[in-house]
């Protein structure tokens, strides 16, 4: 029985990154022996155990065999005869198929360390094609590591395209797509994930509302980058810069301009009313992937209101109040902060404007804070009750907004 550190922990050490969770593989053991050694069995689908002292996960070395389409169609084999190399061979990318023994020696049968050095994301074997989730994982890893110079190996991209053409992504379940998309949106360069999905053909299958944005022109005086798909990628990366690790802000950035794909061709490059027409495809996307309710709600707010925030300085105090109320910003104040971030990302996610000032953001937060300083308790203290409280509160908050602007 021998234990090895495997996967992401080894990869990240080679990259000089802070270590995350440590995963271990055990070779030459049986479930019964693991229990006798004090390990606690926790795996549902295959033998995984918690170490009796560190509580870190230890999995028995195993092999996999494809039995049906999609990512659930696998059977697993784990016993003391499975070798370390056989276990590493089932992994997705060479950079994740490196093991390290107790004295620090690397076991690297697929040259993953060389690919770490070369900054290449490369599949371990043709078995990569058996699991469509690996397309999503490739996108997520690229979103995480693109800033370090990582690219996808040409042969891996070709295999991903073949998988899409074979219909493998059609078998992905909604929950898993959302899980991987959310993780990609938390990464430093989420645009890399979207670009890779588009390059292999998966974006048109999984997020057709986003794929439809590419090639749609915008007015050059407002959008020097012209292409709406390119703009969306720039907004995504700006959102990741302004709100690192915030998948909700990232999702809003991804979906804020969906309406531009629906603009009639004879109106291009103008997009009159796109903030309203984008709500329907956004709702369809959210329903398809069972997007969490708060993600869906804030994304719809950002889609519908982003142009209003861009011209916030022109809005009357009562209009600002009603905008905040539409966002439920008095009960859920964090929504206004999120809206300000997404709108700033939208404005700065344009060619040549990444360092531009965005006064509407701080202005929105200041006006919101002024309105929040007035509460229903003030009205009750004056002896008001019933509907009179709401009427007084609206007027007082509008006045607070007016004074904050003065």
Task: Encode the chain (406 residues) as per-residue pLDDT tens digits.
Answer: 899 999 899 999 999 998 778 889 999 888 888 888 888 888 777 788 889 888 888 989 888 766 555 555 556 777 888 899 999 998 999 999 999 998 999 999 999 999 999 999 999 999 999 999 999 999 999 999 999 999 999 999 999 999 999 999 999 999 999 999 999 999 999 999 999 999 999 999 999 999 999 999 999 999 999 999 999 999 999 999 999 999 999 999 999 999 999 999 999 999 999 999 999 999 999 999 999 999 999 999 999 999 999 999 999 999 999 999 999 999 999 999 999 999 999 999 999 999 999 999 999 999 999 999 998 777 777 777 788 888 889 999 999 999 999 7
Q: Please, which residues have CB within 8 angstroms of residue 8's CB and are 6 or more apart in sequence?
A: 20, 21, 23, 96
5, 195, 228, 290 from 211: Cα distances, Å = 39, 10, 10, 19
**Dihedral sign, Cα of residue 290, residue 293, residue 295, residue 299:** positive
Amino acid 227: pLDDT: 98
d(CA 71, CA 177): 11
Looking at residue 43, its pLDDT comes to: 75
Q: What are phi and psi of 146, to 5 degrees?
A: -60, -35
Quick check: 78 and 87 in contact, CB under 8 A? no
Q: How far apart are CA 137 and CA 133, in angstroms?
A: 6
pLDDT value at residue 193: 98
CB 209 within 8 Å of CB 282: yes
- Show me where the domains of the chain are located: 1-112
Give the C-alpha distances (Å, rounded to integers) separating 382 from 279, 387, 394: 41, 14, 15
Any idea how long the chain is?
406
Q: Which homologous superfamily is 1-112 in?
A: Beta Polymerase, domain 2 (3.30.460.10)
What is the C-alpha separation between 113 and 370, in angstroms, rounded? 55
For 348-359, write each residue's pLDDT tens digit: 999 999 999 999
Residue 74: what pLDDT?
55
Q: Give the integer Cα–Cα distance in Å for 30 and 61.
A: 10
pLDDT digits (tens, 9 = 90+) for 155-210: 999 999 999 999 999 999 999 999 999 999 999 999 999 999 999 999 999 999 99
Query: What pLDDT does 389 receive?
Result: 81
Rounded Cα–Cα distance for residues 173 and 355 (Å): 40
| pTM to 2 decimal places | 0.92
Phi, psi (degrees; rounded to nearest 5) at 152: -95, 135
């Amino acid at each position: 029985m021998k234990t090895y550190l495997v996967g992401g922990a080894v990869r990240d050490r080679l990259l000089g990154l802070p270590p995350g969770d440590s995963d271990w593989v055990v070779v030459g053991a049986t479930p019964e022996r693991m229990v006798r050694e004090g390990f606690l069995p926790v795996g549902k689908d295959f033998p995984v155990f918690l170490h009796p002292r560190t509580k870190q996960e230890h999995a028995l070395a195993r092999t996999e065999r494809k039995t049906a389409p999609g990512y659930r169609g696998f059977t697993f084999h784990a016993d003391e005869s499975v070798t370390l190399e056989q276990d590493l061979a089932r992994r997705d990318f060479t950079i994740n198929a490196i093991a390290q023994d107790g004295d620090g020696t690397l076991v690297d049968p697929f040259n993953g360390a060389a690919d770490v050095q070369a900054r290449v994301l490369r599949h371990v074997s043709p078995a990569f094609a058996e699991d469509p989730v690996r397309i999503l994982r490739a996108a997520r890893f690229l979103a995480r590591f693109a800033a370090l110079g990582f690219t996808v190996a040409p042969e891996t991209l070709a295999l991903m395209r073949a998988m899409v053409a074979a219909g493998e992504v059609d078998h992905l379940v909604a929950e898993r797509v959302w899980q991987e998309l959310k993780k990609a949106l938390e990464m430093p360069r989420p645009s890399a994930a979207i670009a890779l999905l588009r390059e292999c053909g998966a974006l048109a299958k999984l997020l057709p509302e986003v794929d439809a944005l590419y090639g749609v022109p915008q007015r050059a005086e407002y959008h020097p980058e012209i292409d709406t798909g390119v703009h969306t990628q720039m907004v995504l990366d700006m959102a990741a810069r302004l709100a690192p690790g915030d998948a909700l802000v990232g999702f809003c950035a991804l979906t804020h301009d969906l309406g531009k794909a629906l603009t009639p061709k004879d109106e291009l490059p103008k997009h009159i009313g796109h903030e309203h027409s984008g709500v329907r495809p956004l709702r369809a996307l959210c329903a398809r992937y069972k997007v969490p309710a708060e993600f869906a709600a804030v994304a719809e707010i950002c889609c519908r209101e982003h142009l209003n925030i861009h011209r916030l300085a022109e809005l009357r105090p009562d209009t600002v109040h009603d905008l905040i109320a539409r966002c439920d910003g008095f009960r859920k104040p964090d929504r206004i902060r999120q809206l300000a971030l997404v709108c700033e990302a939208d404005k700065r996610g344009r060619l040549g404007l990444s360092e531009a000032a965005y006064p509407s953001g701080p202005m929105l937060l200041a006006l919101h804070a002024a309105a929040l300083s007035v509460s229903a308790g003030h009205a009750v203290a004056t002896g008001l009750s019933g509907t009179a409280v709401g009427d007084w509160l609206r007027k007082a908050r509008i006045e607070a907004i007016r004074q904050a602007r003065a």
